[in-house]
Amino acid sequence: GQQLNQSPQSMFIQEGEDVSMNCTSSSIFNTWLWYKQDPGEGPVLLIALYKAGELTSNGRLTAQFGITRKDSFLNISASIPSDVGIYFCAGQLGGGSNYKLTFGKGTLLTVNP
Amino acid sequence: DAGVTQSPTHLIKTRGQQVTLRCSPKSGHDTVSWYQQALGQGPQFIFQYYEEEERQRGNFPDRFSGHQFPNYSSELNVNALLLGDSALYLCASSLSWFDEQYFGPGTRLTVT
């Protein structure tokens, strides 16, 4: 099945550093979402974006909906050890019967205390 | 307020067997979607149920079927299990078919 292109695949950073990751698609989406998944758990919704160009924050997390509707970015500022996990982007086309989520392969984030 | 719950947590089956996984949506949610997550991959959409009907289906064979009950809970059935069906099966619920999806902890299925 289709998957979004998410990069980087993994990141190893020091506590306190800022982190950036992105997600691209060959087709447009009308909603972009970012999820975090801890080992043995289901994905937890972090941020949802509904409008091209939109910039939304949730605490230390900031995400942007690309103007072309084919990409999205997630930034984490001042990382802490509990930020460790896998971050997934997901796109949703919407309209009619098309509300399934299409996911990227994830970015594995490791934070060194 | 309970979130999405799934049962069982883990399951081991043999090739050719059949399996049923269960999901209870978040309180107030009427739509349930199922996803398959293979190791090292993002979740892949299987299907979505709303008002006890399958609304949308992903690229999965007919061996994968589902059901939604009047209380909005849902089951995922997989027949004639293959080794490749080993994965984490995630259920997500939403207020309606177009709303944000919230995931349960998943059921880890191992096929031997």
Residue B65 phi, psi (nearest 5):
-135, 165
Place of tokens 């098309």: A98
CB contact under 8 A, A41 and B44: no
Contact list, B4 vs chain A (CB under 8 Å):
42
Give the pLDDT score at A97: 66
Q: Which of B107, B104, B85 is nearest to B33 (CA)?
A: B104
Confidence of residue B3 (pLDDT cuts 50, 70, 90): very high
Contact list, B59 vs chain A (CB under 8 Å):
1
pLDDT tens sequence across B29-58: 999 999 999 999 999 999 999 999 999 999
pLDDT tens sequence across A14-35: 999 999 999 999 999 999 999 9
Q: Does the pLDDT value for residue A1 go beyond 60? A: no
Taking the mean position of all CA atoms in its chain, how far away is CA B1? 21
pLDDT tens sequence across B53-106: 999 999 999 999 999 999 999 999 999 999 999 999 999 999 987 788 999 999
Choose the mutation target among A89, A101, A102, A105 for the interface with B, i.e. most B CBs under 10 Å: A101
Contact list, B105 vs chain A (CB under 8 Å):
40-42
Confidence of residue A3 (pLDDT cuts 50, 70, 90): confident
Contact list, A102 vs chain B (CB under 8 Å):
45
Chain A contact for B42 (CB, 8 A cutoff) = yes
Residue of B nearest to A92 (CA): B98
Residues of chain B with pLDDT > 90, as a percent, come to 92
* A27 class by beta-carbon count within 10 Å (0-12 exposed, 13-18 middle, 19+ buried): exposed
